[in-house]
Amino acid sequence: MSFYVYNTITRKKDEFIPVVPGKVGMYTCGPTVYNYAHIGNLRTYIFEDVLKKSLEYAGYKVKHVMNVTDVGHLQSDGDEGEDKMALGASREKKTVWEIAKFYEEAFLDDCKKLNVKRPNVVCRATEHIKEMINFIEVLEKKGYTYQSNGNVYFEIDKFKDYTKLANLSIEELEAGSRIEVDPNKKNPLDFVLWFTNSKFKNQIMQWESPWGRGFPGWHLECSTMSMKYLGDRIDIHCGGIDHIPVHHTNEIAQSEAYSGKKWVNYWMHGEFLVLDGGKMSKSTGDFLTVKRLEEEGFSPLDYRYFCLQSRYRKQLIFSFENLDAARKSFKALKKRIATILENVCENDRFNNENINIYNEKFKKQISDDLNIPNAFTVLLDVLKDENLTNLEKKFLIEDFDKVLSLELTSVEKDLSNIDVESIENLIKERNEARSSKNYARADEIRDQLLKMNIEILDSKEGTTWRLK
Ligand code: AMP
Ligand code: ZN
């Protein structure tokens, strides 16, 4: 079965044909680690996770590489504004290195909670400075760069097709980027490859280079690191839609200038999550995080479920009301699944043909540019299909969950519905039964608790319990 993806550069749904049959090289732009990721950022990472898992479900072996931006990203995606890492450091009175370490860990923790699988390679910009310098040297030899006021710039007029990804004219790109006129640039859309004589005199992160002590421009890291880990032909490159006109446009220019060939075959971009009242911005500090959702009583998987209800190329409007509606529907789904699981019998029929029919239906939806809402419909069809045994249903639910990653078969760990007092009374009674050597009664109570999904643990310190 063919796999189709919407390709930003061709502006249509294209059949996915990898460079190497059966394998996928996939690069996704990672976080700038100067603050927590907001739930908008995380929508994009969830989309990329589902893409990777869908390709795996369709039988591909995926190598996924993601960068961590810990240097060089200014407030605007062009070369204007303050340095984001330095802003984070002064906000929290820490060093940029401490900030980078802290927020990288926080980001990876959030991903874990959302069941976003860690990429095969997670690479930091600051650990690839040598490669970035080599990259600029090649561009310099090929005549794509110039130096002005101490900085090294990429000259976009030397690269034909600069506008091909955004499908905008140079004038439209200029208008969209609201660039302050930088007298050092030949063309306002030229971008910095290496900063030396920058406005950031107190920049802590600096390295020696052939052009003087300094640090790399932001766009460079993605081209350099993706080529290091995936080679100079990449199947899929992803990010949020904001990256199309500047970051990804610049990545293409420098990568294709460097290698002299086409770089990425499929560009995939996730639409934004927007708040009911407008945009969410990481730089203003006014944004929602996974932690905030948890404080409001939502689980990270409620949020994943919420994201999966709409297609990745559609804008998604967030409100707590919408999230609450998603949580209710997620709970109802898990409840239906729990009933099926409770009724699975050891000698239920297991017919591979039944399984294959639904596998194919599910695959058809995810291969249609990730039609996840329709994939959920296939799941619902499984739940209500009277011709399937509960064992077959269980298998299919677990199988679809390889892509959805919603822990559909795990038991709700909801303490709010549990009568703690009666559990503790039963444990007390069991302990008394054991003291009087009435082991039959003690075992009976253990079994009774197990049926309530309560597991008891005996130790020297006494007996404790937990939800299974
Ligand atoms: P950043 O850490 O700012 O570099 O962004 C990380 C990822 O989140 C990038 O792929 C962005 O395109 C994406 N992104 C930023 N804001 C949003 C949003 N509101 N909704 C969805 N994705 C976003
Ligand atoms: Zn990037």
> DSSP string of 322-365?
HHHHHHHHHHHHHHHHHHHHHT--TT----HHHHHHHHHHHHHH
Please give the pLDDT value at position 93: 84
Taking the CA of residue 271 as reference, the ligand 1 atom at the shortest distance is 21
Question: Is the pLDDT score of 118 beyond 90?
Answer: yes
- Asked if the model's pLDDT at residue 466 lies above 90, the reply is no
Nearest ligand to the CA of 69 is 1
Measured between alpha carbons, how far is 406 from 393 in angstroms, rounded to an integer?
Answer: 16
Phi, psi of 357 (to 5 degrees): -60, -45
Q: 155 and 189 in contact (C-beta within 8 Å)?
A: no
**Which listed ligand is nearest to 220 at the C-alpha?**
2
Pick the closest to residue 115 from 303, 324, 296 (CA basis): 303
The residues that bridge with 163 in the sheet, in sequence order, are none
Which of the listed residues 39, 41, 290, 317 should we mutate to test ligand 1's pocket, taking the one with most ligand atoms within 8 A of CB? 41
Local confidence band at 204 (pLDDT 50, 70, 90 cut-offs): confident
Q: Which helix (H) or strand (E) holds 130?
A: helix 129-141
Q: Is the pLDDT of residue 48 over 90?
A: yes
Q: Which of these ranges, 1-15, 125-139, 400-414, has the smallest mean pLDDT?
A: 400-414
**What integer pLDDT is reported at residue 361 of this predicted model?**
98
159: pLDDT strictly greater than 90: yes
Residues 230-269 pLDDT 10s: 999 999 999 999 999 999 999 999 999 999 999 999 999 9
Phi and psi at residue 160, in whole multiples of 5°?
Answer: -75, 155
Q: Is the pLDDT of residue 177 over 70?
A: no
pLDDT at residue number 165: 94
Q: Which residues contact 37 (CB under 8 A, 6 or more apart)?
A: 31, 45, 106, 107, 110, 282, 289, 290
CA-69 nearest atom, ligand 1? 4
Q: Which two tokens stand for residue 324?
A: 């609450």
- Ligand in closest contact with the CA of 123: 2
Q: Which of 403, 359, 405 is nearest to 381 (CA)?
A: 359
Asked whether residue 213 carries a pLDDT value surpassing 70, the answer given is yes
The pLDDT value given to residue 456 = 83
| Residue from 28, 44, 165 whose mutation best tests the ligand 1 pocket (most atoms within 8 A of CB) | 44
Ligand 1: atom nearest CA of 242 is 12
At 411 the pLDDT is 75
pLDDT of residue 231: 97
Burial label for 459, CB within 10 Å (0-12, 13-18, 19+), is exposed
Token pair 């078969």 in the structure block, residue = 409
**Using a 6 Å cutoff on CB, does residue 307 contact ligand 1?**
no
Tokens found for residue 69: 């931006």
CA of 409 to the centre of ligand 2 (A): 36
How far the first Cα of the chain sits from its last, in Å, is: 40
Give the C-alpha separation, 306 to 43, whole Å: 10
CB-count exposure of residue 168 (10 Å: 0-12, 13-18, 19+): middle
Per DSSP, the residues of 141-158 read: HTT-EEEETTEEEE-GGG
| pLDDT band (50, 70, 90) for residue 314 | very high
pLDDT given for residue 79 in this prediction: 74
pLDDT of res. 419? 77
Give the span between the Cα atoms of 232 and 396, in whole angstroms.
Answer: 38
The residue whose CA is least distant from atom 11 of ligand 1 is 240
For the cut 60, the answer to whether the pLDDT of residue 138 exceeds it is yes
Pick from 24-33, 260-269, 418-427: least confident: 418-427
Secondary structure letter of residue 296 according to DSSP: T
Q: Does the pLDDT at position 375 exceed 70?
A: yes
Task: Give the per-residue pLDDT at 356.
Answer: 97
Residue with tokens 């959805």: 404
Q: The pTM is what?
A: 0.87
- CB of 240 closer than 6 A to ligand 1? yes
Q: How far apart are CA 21 and CA 407, in angstroms?
A: 31
Contacts 24+ apart (CB under 8 A), 127-135: 128/221, 128/224, 128/225, 128/228, 129/207, 129/216, 131/224, 131/225, 131/228, 132/216, 132/220, 132/221, 132/224, 133/194, 133/207, 133/209, 133/210, 135/220, 135/223, 135/224, 135/254, 135/258
Share of the chain above pLDDT 90, in %: 74
Summarize pLDDT for 53-103 with one digit per residue, the tens.
Answer: 999 999 999 999 999 998 867 777 677 777 888 788 778 888 888 889 999
- State the amino acid at position 192 in one-letter form: V
Question: Given CA atoms 144, 146, 151, 157 in this order, what sign does their dihedral have?
Answer: negative
**DSSP helix/strand/coil, 331:** helix
CA nearest 238: which of 253, 222, 218?
222
**Residue for token pair 């290698």:** 259
Cα 40 to ligand 1 centre (Å): 6
pLDDT value, residue 382: 98
Contact in structure between 404 and 114 (CB atoms under 8 Å) = no
At 287 the pLDDT is 87
Q: Which two tokens stand for residue 286?
A: 């006014």
Nearest Cα neighbor of 48 from 101, 115, 99 is: 115
- Is 465 or 230 the better-scoring residue by pLDDT? 230
Question: Which ligand places an atom closest to the C-alpha of 316?
Answer: 1
The atom of ligand 1 lying closest to the CA of 272 is 20
Question: What's at 380, amino acid-wise?
Answer: L
Q: Is 53 in the pocket of ligand 1 (CB under 6 A)?
A: no
Measured from the CB, is residue 29 less than 6 Å from ligand 1? yes
pLDDT value of position 468? 64
Mean per-residue pLDDT for 290-308?
A: 96
64 is in an annotated binding site: no
| pLDDT for residue 413 is more than 60 | no
pLDDT of 378-388, one tens digit each?
A: 999 999 999 99
Q: What is the distance between the alpha carbons of residues 68 and 70, in angstroms, rounded to a whole number? A: 6
* Mean pLDDT, all residues of the chain: 91
Q: Is 117 annotated as a binding residue?
A: no
Q: Which of 365, 458, 376, 298 is nearest to 57 (CA)?
A: 365
Q: Which domains occur in the chain, in start order?
A: 4-270 (3.40.50.620), 278-404 (1.20.120), 420-467 (no CATH)
Q: Which helix (H) or strand (E) holds 75?
A: none
- pLDDT category at 465 given cuts 50, 70, 90 is confident
Tokens coding 176: 């969209």
Alpha-carbon span 221 to 135, nearest angstrom: 10
Distance CA 280, CA 269 (A): 18
Mean pLDDT of 402-414: 86
Among protein residues, the one whose CA lies closest to atom 23 of ligand 1? 41
- Residue 201: pLDDT over 70: no
Is 142 annotated as ligand-binding?
A: no
Compute how many other C-beta atoms are within 10 angstroms of the C-beta atom of residue 400.
Answer: 21
CA of 41 to the centre of ligand 1 (A): 4
137-146, 271-280, 344-353, 390-399: lowest mean pLDDT where?
271-280
Could you tell me if the CB of 282 is within 6 A of ligand 1? yes
Cα–Cα distance, 407 to 136 (Å, whole number): 46
347 contacts 358 by C-beta, under 8 angstroms: no
DSSP β-ladder status, 462-467 and 454-459: antiparallel
Q: Is the pLDDT of residue 174 over 70?
A: yes
307 is in an annotated binding site: no
